[in-house]
Chain A
Amino acid sequence: MKKKLLVFVLVLPMLAILLSGCAEGLQAASWPSITVEGEYAYVAAGPQLYAVELDDGDDIWQFSQKSTMQNQFAIFATPILTPDGQLIVGAYDKVLYSLDPTVDPEQEDNINWSFPDAKDRWIGSVLVANDRIYAPNADHKLYILNFDGELQGEPFEADNALWTAPVTDGEKIYFTSLGSTVYALDAISAEKVWEQKIDGAILGGIALGPDGVLYIGTFSGMVTALNTSNGKPFWEKQFPGQIWSTPALSDGTLYVGTSDGHVYALNAEDGSEISDFMADSAVLGTPLVLENKIIFGTELGTLYFLDRETLEDNREILAGKLYGTPVLAGERILVAPVKGDYILLAYDLDGKQDWTFTPDK
């Protein structure tokens, strides 16, 4: 009897393990994101946030917190630096952290403050503007905090989860919900100025044009240009593939990657198609647009360095999937693959690998 009881007791945790993790994607995970500031890159890559030296890819510090059964700790939102030197990043344990990036958390506590009041995960990164932190959460709320982590008034409640970073033109804050709505709030009073429903869920953020236009891509494959003053659309353009990321805007041209492997260049004025490049698989991240090049990654792990004029490509094939957006760090391009051999890889602008980063144990 005792033996049977023992077997029974041992079988239970096994069942729990099976239930919690035998299929891909069950553990809350996403793709890494990167911020570059000064000599360092900060990489939010799941259970750890890494500070990496840009010169040689050396590990500076790693930040992590303990997971609980209900709140798995993981960071995927892009870390953002405030003007007073705080590194603000939200995690999947529903806590928004302010870290001191100059302190190694292994030596001493580097948490300035934490904001634990949100009810869901922090998927999108925060916007720092007007001495405030505008923090979108998957619990549908936009929290506005001061630099001490104190809530400034009631959070604004949207119609669905907020997965992307807000943008601002100084007067208004613009952000999107997963439920197809674009919101504009007064930057100071946080009162709603307008809201606009568009076609399809919005997974990417907003590209803000210098001429008062918001550019948004949707899961239903539509790119739309909205008027910042009233939210009304200037134009709309439909594509067959889904759009997962923020369009990239450069010199009046809009670059959009789609799930069916296209990278389109559109005239930002009217949405007319300028060019169409076919990649080897889905392009979910925002293309990085430089003076002469367009750089983007694909689901099959190919990093494209595309000539902006001729669309001639130079490509590097990496292990893993490149869902995120490549980031420019001086003369280097940084990419962080999902399920790759490395957490972070650095390339020069011609596509030659410079260094790779794997964390010190």
Chain B
Amino acid sequence: MWETIIVTPLTNLLLWVNTLVGGHFWIAIILFTILIRLATHPLMAKQMKSTAALQEMQQSKKWQEIQTKHKGNKEQLAQEQMKMYKEAGVSPFGSCLPTLIQLPIIFGLYQSVMRALSATPLQLTYLVKSAGTFTGELLNINITEMIPLNSNFLWMNLGQPERVTIFGFGVSILAIIVAITTYIQSKLTMPATPSANPTDQSAQMGKMMSLYMPLMLLYFAWNYASGLALYFIVSNVLGIVQYALLGKANWKNLLPKSLQPVTKTGGKK
């Protein structure tokens, strides 16, 4: 099921893009990421809208009041919060659901990149089978002419983890860029004004995510094929561009706290 619905069509799409760009697999990954980002743009826009509405509501006076009022009664607090969500027409899961929907695409993409690069004869049999399916025929994939794919990009083999030796240590430049761009992206999506409530769980979760996500992706990019790291970087950059174009990027968050101007409201709308 997963194979038929996600991995095989994504693999064939990636191979098709690879043909369009003359067999330069790194360009194919970049273009493919753009395609995926465009396809998931409505989801992302919805996520941004929900997040902004949620943030706005959680910074409202009424929200703060019920936090204080029902501090000792969790059940009552939850009921009041749900009431507020209903009144504002906001779903507390509205901001994370689109992300969850995107997750299978990320996993599928990684698998399709690995399959396309087929580092072993057995993996190549899977690639040949993928190309022989309905989507492969629809996109006119000629696997015989494509093999072997050109997996080289600058100093890297996109099918292998990337390493550059610096002072005797193997360092992954791409993984570091992944961590930096992930950090920037998550910072840009946080509210410009931190929550006044020190016990605000969503603010704390957001703060934690902005540290945790870069570390998690750093780990993936460091240890897995560099083709995945390239995908993460392009995806992050495109995400930043999307936030900026939709006017949801809080650039002030990138400044050190001491340099941030004091504002009363949330991020730019």
Contact = CB atoms under 8 A, between A and B. Distances in A.
A291 B213 CA distance: 64
B231 to A, nearest CB: 12
Interface residues of B, number: 36
A201 B2 contact: no
Given A161-B148, A200-B144, A1 B161 contact: no
Interface in B150-176: 157, 160-161
Secondary structure class of chain B's binding surface, majority of residues: helix
Secondary structure class of chain A's binding surface, majority of residues: loop
Interface string B118-147: 011111111010000000000000001101
A286 to B, nearest CB: 13
Interface in B71-123: 103, 106-107, 110-111, 114-115, 119-123
Given A5-B208, A19-B107, A29 B144 contact: no
Nearest to B220: A19
Nearest to A120: B160
Interface string B218-250: 011001100000000000000000000000000
Contacts of A20: 224
B68 interface: no
B205 interface: yes
B4 to A, nearest CB: 11
A25 B123 contact: yes
Contacts of A231: none
Contacts of B3: 23-24
Given A8-B212, A19-B220, A221 B121 contact: no
> Which of B111, B121, B125, B157 lies at the interface centre, i.e. has the most chain A CB atoms within 10 A of its CB?
B121
B60 interface: no
B147 A121 contact: no
B40 to A, nearest CB: 18
B7 A23 contact: yes
Contact of A163 (B115, B121, B157): B121
B201 A4 contact: yes
Interface in A104-161: 119-121, 123, 138, 160-161
Contacts of A26: 111, 114-115
A284 B128 CA distance: 13
Contacts of A121: 119-120
A18 B107 contact: yes
A325 to B, nearest CB: 12
B10 to A, nearest CB: 11
Interface of A: 1, 4-5, 8, 12, 15-16, 18-20, 22-26, 28-31, 69-70, 76, 92, 119-121, 123, 138, 160-161, 163, 178-179, 200-201, 203, 219-221, 242, 244, 259, 284, 323, 338
15 contacts: A16-B219, A18-B107, A23-B7, A24-B126, A28-B119, A29-B122, A29-B123, A30-B121, A70-B161, A70-B223, A219-B144, A219-B147, A220-B144, A242-B128, A323-B121
Interface of B: 2-3, 7, 103, 106-107, 110-111, 114-115, 119-126, 128, 144-145, 147-148, 157, 160-161, 201, 204-205, 208, 212, 216, 219-220, 223-224
Given A5-B208, A201-B148, 18 more contacts: A1-B201, A8-B208, A19-B106, A20-B224, A23-B7, A23-B115, A30-B120, A31-B122, A70-B161, A76-B120, A92-B120, A119-B157, A119-B160, A121-B119, A161-B148, A178-B147, A203-B124, A219-B147
